[in-house]
Amino acid sequence: MWNKNTKIRFYLAYETADSSVFADVWSERTKTLAKSKKICTKYVELEARLLDDVLSDVKFDKLDFLKIDAEGTEPEVLEGAKRTLETVPNVAVDCSCERHGKSTLRAVQNILEKANFNVAHRGYEVFGWK
């Protein structure tokens, strides 16, 4: 899922299970690999789509709960779910430090608040409800 229908590179990090759209994945597990210059260079090209379009294509009429764990791309996934966020009453998003070693928590909170959700977080988990 992404914020537009396009092709994206998904970098493969088999050694650490940190595959991502970010080539420079900086988690604790990859710091040693990064020092040895083993930053992700292998990738696959994938079709990225709006979550709104995917749900429309499968004729998904009602969604009660949306859980997102997108390896650092949570803001982009939510940006591609504007129609979905209008109708879904409950959202939980994992905002761990998977985007260049930083959390997406603030960006996710802002998107959910703009979509009229009540928002709270516990650690790196963001919860939204209407």
Query: What residues make up the domain containing 86?
Result: 6-129
- The Cα 127–Cα 58 span in angstroms is 26
Q: Is residue 25 part of a domain?
A: yes
Residue 59 confidence (pLDDT): 86
Q: Is residue 92 part of a domain?
A: yes
Task: List the chain pLDDT tens, one digit each, 130 residues.
Answer: 999 999 998 887 766 666 777 766 544 455 555 555 555 668 889 999 999 999 999 987 789 999 999 989 999 999 999 999 999 999 999 999 888 788 999 999 999 999 999 999 999 999 999 9
Q: Is residue 45 part of a domain?
A: yes
- The Cα 39–Cα 23 span in angstroms is 7
Q: Is residue 1 part of a domain?
A: no
- The Cα 118–Cα 16 span in angstroms is 35
Q: Is residue 69 part of a domain?
A: yes
Nearest-CA neighbor of 127 among 93, 102, 88?
A: 93
* Overall number of domains in the chain: 1
Nearest-CA neighbor of 91 among 103, 100, 99, 82?
A: 82
Q: Is residue 74 part of a domain?
A: yes
